């Protein structure tokens, strides 16, 4: 169990969001409406203003990369996936296989999906931009039902990033960049 030393909440258009730090200054984040959120410690209203400014900009539709931050501890492959996803260029989408390749294990797409499911820093490590190869948004926060609030949040995060829902003539849903922005790294 991680001991959070301090935390700060941010009210966003997409819900209340928390940033927490442990004793090693490793960052943890979470959405109140999805839980669990980092808990414990004390509230610090001016905690990590660089991250807060970035999060507010992302909430407004910005696509700039996040400031540097320390990732939490975790299994080695999960950490490799979190690092690769954290460094995913703004405006790009990857499949779980793309993430597995970037993390050094090309045949571990399912394990990469598990790493994203257990991402302790959502939004900062943009797991919402990792999608199944079959198209569509896939799951979010370990939930997969199309009408689940978590999956809806993922769709909204993708829309904020300039991606729109497109239904293919032969069936299936894809996300494509809107507003003339850079295409995703995965060729649909």
Q: Decide if 81 is catalytic.
A: no
Q: Tell me the two tokens of residue 125.
A: 């490590």
CB 35 within 8 A of CB 127: no
Q: How many whole angstroms separate alpha carbon 63 and alpha carbon 59?
A: 10
Write down the catalytic residue from 6, 81, 85, 127: 127
Residue 171, both tokens: 């069936």
- State yes or no: cis peptide before 20, omega within 30 of 0: no
Integer CA distances (angstroms), 162 to 35, 80, 131, 165, 183, in order: 26, 27, 15, 10, 10
Do you know the residue count of the chain?
Answer: 188
H-type alpha helices, 16-165: 49-59, 76-86, 96-102, 109-117, 149-160
Give the list of residues 6+ apart from residue 37 with CB closer than 8 angstroms, or none. Answer: 18, 20, 30, 31
| C-alpha–C-alpha distance, residues 110 and 4, integer Å | 29
Catalytic residue numbers, as ranges: 127
């Amino acid at each position: 169990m991680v001991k959070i030393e301090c935390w700060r909440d941010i009210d966003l258009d997409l819900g209340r969001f928390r940033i927490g730090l442990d004793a090693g200054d490793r960052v943890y984040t979470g959405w109140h409406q999805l839980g669990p959120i980092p808990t414990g410690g004390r509230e610090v209203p001016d905690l990590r203003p660089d991250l807060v400014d970035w999060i507010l900009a992302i909430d407004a539709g910005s696509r700039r990369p996040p400031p540097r931050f320390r990732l939490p501890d975790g299994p080695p492959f999960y950490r490799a996936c979190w690092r690769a996803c954290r460094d995913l260029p703004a405006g790009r989408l990857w499949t779980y296989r793309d993430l597995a390749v970037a993390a050094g294990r090309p045949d571990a797409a399912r394990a990469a999906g598990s790493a994203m499911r257990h991402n302790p820093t959502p939004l900062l490590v943009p797991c919402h931009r990792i999608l199944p190869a079959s198209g569509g948004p896939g799951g979010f926060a370990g939930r997969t039902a199309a009408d689940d609030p978590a999956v809806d949040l993922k769709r909204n995060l993708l829309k904020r990033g300039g991606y729109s829902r497109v239904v293919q003539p032969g069936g299936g849903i894809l996300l494509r960049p809107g507003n003339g922005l850079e295409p995703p790294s995965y060729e649909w």
